Chains A and B, each alone.
Chain A
């Protein structure tokens, strides 16, 4: 396995002087290619800060972050945007789809930024919607879709660029348990069959049970890393 993400001695301080808040206080953390990692921890443990740094939305105060061997902290803002565009897919708790925009157009958006042609955008987006089982809903806008369907559109949008890693920030946080299971099974299948690495923040043990590795955060430090022998099998 290639090492996808390698984090060493990562710190993140917000503010300065006496009001400074240390969100991360020296984190070491790896994600192997093809892994499914669940990041757990109570709120304020630094897991969201960690995710923002992994997603190149934020930069660490000190420490190193290598993505596929490249030091990310040396990249410019635009280079980080290009890295996100090419290698990283985001799934958010609040879905974050563009309102009044069809599922298809939402999924096409990353391809639009990559400068793909109209035909290629349509083909790619329909394929991604197919992977999440929503081709029939392509023309619907988010307000016409259920929460579970919206999250699937968001997953399709993250998948459409065929990223190396999917970063999911509490993807089931806004869903009922039945929809949550559906989404987790979808992610699990994508990981197993599609070979997509997944890093998922959650505070629910049932959701973390789908992952192969569980990283527990506490007070800005990694408390424990558990390798799980048996993650939940996806029903075929």
Chain B
């Protein structure tokens, strides 16, 4: 009986191609929008995660102050090298500890000048931030220890000062300090978070302290946590260590902040995920509307085909068979709509991802879910018309014009 009804339903759909297509259009759009939205949302989440991890994985950045904004009130004290040393020696599971000081400076080479940020730090900075060199080398131990006037420049600085000329080995002036360029960083592009790493000049920590800032302040401590360790637990350990060293009593707020790249990544991808769910839910509404569209057309179709139903009943169709035929028609229509919708969403996701430069991801889970849901919509909204068709009186149905 099921086979018979399926066959009849398929024949009916084939006979009315245009009507069938228009009926399924709602489902096509519904499924396509749900799957596209969710897939693009997942792509966006992935993109955010990639951007964050490009800054360095499991990175802790410690800065003084109770927030990242420039709040009012007295500025809490910076760290010093003893703090850095204490962290390095007393906390386990740290791969890199890089102290950093920074200053604004105008870099001058011949007639060109460029206002930029100077970071004084150690080689750990390059490793922790995943910075690669396009040319030259990073600092030698001797240069670091002696505080030599050498620097590694970012691509933006290089481009503004040197254009197409060779920069390695040349000396540029930072405020009053002259330093020799030993390396050029690879272009990373605007990461979207933190400072622009292309627009900076990196010097050995000692050189920057002695010749640029003139103090022993460490403004930032950059820490790369070993993969096997939990960055949150290490963050807590560092917090209690630093609280002790900064003489913060119980009940006093931290006067420094630990900025965890993993946490940031989690927060941001949580946000995009919420947004994805929200968009998916809005799109799901269109899927329900598509289902109502199917019900509407099926109801019209039952009225239109009253006579046909009468004929079927007269030549020996059992009511159940008529019910099944209409139900299967509705489910088949919505399932076909669902399949077309999946194909459409696949293409749409691919095109949009290419257009807005997102990584292409296709969520097969949500695709399967949307497909099953579209078939369920067919059953739900196909039942009422099918029931109506099956309960027609054959004599009256035959008389129907």
Q: Secondary structure at chain B's binding surface: helix, strand, loop or mixed?
A: helix
Decide if B11 touches A85 in the complex (CB within 8 Å).
no
Decide if B320 touches A85 in the complex (CB within 8 Å).
no
Q: B293 at interface (Cβ–Cβ under 8 A)?
A: no
List A contacts of B4 (CB < 8 A).
Answer: 112-113, 115
List A contacts of B398 (CB < 8 A).
Answer: 92, 96
- A96 and B313 CA atoms in complex are apart in Å by 12
Q: B7 at interface (Cβ–Cβ under 8 A)?
A: yes
Decide if A105 touches B395 in the complex (CB within 8 Å).
no
Give the distance to chain A from B328, nearest Cβ to Cβ, in Å: 14
Q: B321 at interface (Cβ–Cβ under 8 A)?
A: yes
List B contacts of A82 (CB < 8 A).
Answer: 316, 318
Q: B1 at interface (Cβ–Cβ under 8 A)?
A: yes
Decide if B318 touches A86 in the complex (CB within 8 Å).
no
Residues of B within 8 A of A (CB): 1, 3-4, 7-8, 11, 15-16, 307-308, 310-321, 394-395, 398
- A35 and B88 CA atoms in complex are apart in Å by 111
Give the distance to chain A from B12, nearest Cβ to Cβ, in Å: 9
Decide if A109 touches B315 in the complex (CB within 8 Å).
yes
List B contacts of A158 (CB < 8 A).
Answer: 315
Provide a sorted-by-A list of 21 A–B residue pairs whose CB atoms are within 8 angstroms: A52-B395, A57-B313, A57-B314, A57-B395, A58-B395, A77-B319, A81-B313, A81-B316, A81-B318, A85-B317, A86-B316, A96-B310, A96-B311, A97-B311, A98-B308, A100-B15, A101-B11, A109-B312, A115-B3, A157-B315, A158-B315
**Residue of B16, B312, B314, B316 contacting most chain A CB atoms (<10 Å):** B316
List A contacts of B315 (CB < 8 A).
Answer: 84-85, 90, 109-110, 113, 157-158
Decide if A96 touches B316 in the complex (CB within 8 Å).
no
List A contacts of B3 (CB < 8 A).
Answer: 115
Decide if B307 touches A96 in the complex (CB within 8 Å).
yes
Give the distance to chain B from A127, nearest Cβ to Cβ, in Å: 17
- A110 and B16 CA atoms in complex are apart in Å by 22
Complex A-B, nearest 9 residue pairs according to Cβ-Cβ distance, in ascending order: A85-B316, A84-B316, A81-B318, A96-B311, A110-B315, A57-B394, A100-B15, A78-B318, A90-B314
Report which of B15, B310, B320, B395 forms a contact with A78, defined as CB distance below 8 A: B320
Contact with B along A18-46 (1 / 0, CB 8 A): 00000000000000000000000000000
Report which of A58, A81, A99 forms a contact with B319, defined as CB distance below 8 A: A81
List A contacts of B320 (CB < 8 A).
Answer: 78
- Which A residues between 95 and 119 are near B, CB-CB below 8 angstroms? 96-101, 105, 109-110, 112-115
Of all chain B residues, which has the CB nearest A49? B395
- A1 and B262 CA atoms in complex are apart in Å by 94
- A115 and B11 CA atoms in complex are apart in Å by 16
- Which A residues between 54 and 97 are near B, CB-CB below 8 angstroms? 55, 57-58, 77-78, 81-82, 84-86, 90, 92, 96-97
Report which of A105, A110, A161 forms a contact with B11, defined as CB distance below 8 A: A105
Give the distance to chain A from B236, nearest Cβ to Cβ, in Å: 72
- A96 and B400 CA atoms in complex are apart in Å by 11
